[in-house]
Amino acid sequence: MSESNTPSSSSSRPLYEGSTQFRNWRFSQEQLRETRTKLSVAAAKQIKDAFETDSARPFSRRSCRGQPGSSSDVSFLAPEEEQLLVKLYVGKVSQLCGHFRFPEEVEATAISYLKRFYLRNTVMDWHPKNVMLTALFLATKTTNHPIPVEAYTSTIPKTTPSDVLDLEFLVAQSLDFEFNVWHAHRALWGIYLDIQSLPDGMVDVSELQDVYRNSAKHVRASRLTDAELIYAPSQIALASLSMVNPNLAQAWGQSKGSDAILPVIDEIKSMITSDGQAPDVERVREVDRRLRICKNPEKIVGSKAYLAKKAAEEAKEQEKRMKKAEENRRNMDSGNPFGDELGSGDGDDPNLDDDD
């Protein structure tokens, strides 16, 4: 079992192990596959059902346009294909942060939000473009680097403030309102400072700055992978250092008594090497073309499925309001507009004292 999945046996637990990230946003690779597969299967079923109520699908294939029940010939996205699209927009976060000159803390946080969002939702329900824009805007606020939404959207083509704000609560809710993120780039900075305290002869100070700079590049590459959802930030940071200077990483690890972590470091290095590149653009374009066909019509404003869902929600709310109004009317008719007193009525339990 990797260190990232092993509870601390020390009497003084590291601060990271008390975080919501440690408790709620760490998974094994198998758990990630299962989660994404379940989401994808459930979304496909929901979309098929929604297609039945939206016979005039303007985005559907011509052969099945206007025919209820024709979702059988739609090729839904596989979880791996959804991740390709998400990965593309992870790269877009970096581009936008460069444009706005946001600090790395904002960039890393927005990327974490985007990844976590798609552990609760699928791209067939919510396209990553607007989710990415909202996640980045939310990250500017949670990291104390806010920007007015008008200034934010004015320089992004075909984007209005409502495109960002309409999804803000959904994104926050999907994150379980857990906004704090522990990042590998901050762990790498800590290691860099700590290395300078190693005994003389173990560190070539003249090269240390270059080692740190190149290690940071690998940390940024790790954001294109699932590493942060599986491993601790310090492990990712040490793996990134090891990719640049294995001997220095090993010396630092031994100084901390962390020899047992070395197999985990190799796993992370392999992940960054194999998955830490931007996806093939043509493959992503093909996925995006198919997404236009299999997107959930309940999320498309104006579709029959969308209108039907809205009508059902409004009817439910109206029923609640009428029920509340009827209850208020009965209280007024009985001369008791504030309802019965607490503890009054035939349902009182004689076995309860005042403290109960």
CA–CA distance, 335 with 329 (Å, rounded to integer)? 10
Query: Do both 107 and 54 map to the same domain?
Result: yes
CB 231 within 8 A of CB 238: no
The reported pLDDT for the residue numbered 256 is: 82
- Say whether both 42 and 161 belong to one domain: yes
What's the rounded Cα separation, in Å, for the pair 144 and 141?
Answer: 5
Instruction: Take residue 319 and report the two structure tokens written for it.
Output: 């029923």
pLDDT of 284 reads 93
Cβ atoms of 174 and 25 within 8 Å: the answer is: no
CB–CB of 114/132 below 8 Å?
Answer: yes
**CA–CA separation, 295 and 229 (whole Å):** 26
For residue 14, the model assigns a pLDDT of: 80
Helix (H, G, I), strand (E, B) or coil at 72: helix
Does 210 lie in the same domain as 168?
no
Give the pLDDT score at 286: 93
Q: Quick one: 167 and 212 in the same domain?
A: no
**Pair of tokens at residue 28:** 């094994």
- The DSSP result for 85-119, as a single string, is HHHHHHHHHHHHHHHHT--HHHHHHHHHHHHHHTT
pLDDT in tens, 123-167: 999 999 999 999 999 999 999 999 999 999 999 999 999 999 999
pLDDT tens, the chain, 356 aa long: 444 454 444 457 788 888 999 999 999 999 999 999 999 999 888 888 777 655 544 444 433 333 444 556 678 889 999 999 999 999 999 999 999 999 999 999 999 999 999 999 999 999 999 999 999 999 999 999 999 999 999 999 999 999 999 999 999 999 999 999 999 999 999 999 999 888 776 777 778 999 999 999 999 999 999 999 999 999 999 999 999 999 899 888 888 877 667 789 999 999 999 999 999 999 999 999 998 888 776 665 555 555 666 666 677 777 787 788 777 777 777 766 665 655 555 555 555 554 54
- Check whether residue 258 and residue 208 sit in a common domain: yes
Residue 166 belongs to some domain of the structure:
yes
Q: Is residue 248 part of a domain?
A: yes
List, in order, residues 6 or more apart from 182 with CB less than 8 Å away: 16, 19, 21, 22, 233
Q: Beta-carbon neighbour count of residue 355 at 10 Å?
A: 4
Residue 340 sits at φ, ψ, to 5 deg, of -70, 150
Q: Are residues 59 and 164 in the same domain?
A: yes
**CATH number, residue 270:** 1.10.472
CATH at 58: 1.10.472.10
Residue type at position 234: S
Q: Is residue 88 part of a domain?
A: yes
Structure tokens at 275: 């998955």
Domain that holds residue 104: 29-181+295-299
Residues 106 and 195 in one domain: no
Question: Does the residue 143 lie in any domain?
Answer: yes
Helices (H), the chain: 20-24, 29-52, 79-100, 104-117, 128-142, 149-154, 161-165, 168-174, 184-195, 205-222, 227-230, 233-244, 246-255, 262-275, 281-294, 304-333
Number of domains in the chain: 2
Q: What is the pLDDT of residue 18?
A: 86
Token pair recorded at residue 290 = 């198919």
Same domain? For 153 and 259 the reply is no
CA 262 to chain centre: 28
> For the packed helices 233-244 and 205-222, what is the interaxial angle rounded to 10 degrees?
120
Q: Do 162 and 201 lie in a common domain?
A: no
Based on the domain organization, do 58 and 80 belong to the same domain? yes
Half-sphere exposure of 303 (CA within 13 A, CB side): 23
Asked if residue 39 and residue 177 are part of one domain, the reply reads yes
Residue 67 lies in a domain: yes
Q: Is residue 3 part of a domain?
A: no
Other Cβ atoms within 10 Å of 299 Cβ, number: 16
Q: Is 356 part of a structural domain of the chain?
A: no
What pLDDT does 72 receive?
A: 61
Alpha-carbon distances, residue 95 vs 154, 227, 304, 319 (angstroms): 16, 21, 37, 47
- Is 9 part of a structural domain of the chain? no
Same domain for 167 and 59: yes
Q: What is the pLDDT of residue 71?
A: 58
Residue found by looking up tokens 């996806």 in the block: 279
Q: Select from 268, 214, 261 the least CA-distant residue to 241.
A: 214
Q: Which amino acid is at 238?
A: L
What's the confidence (pLDDT) of residue 67?
A: 43
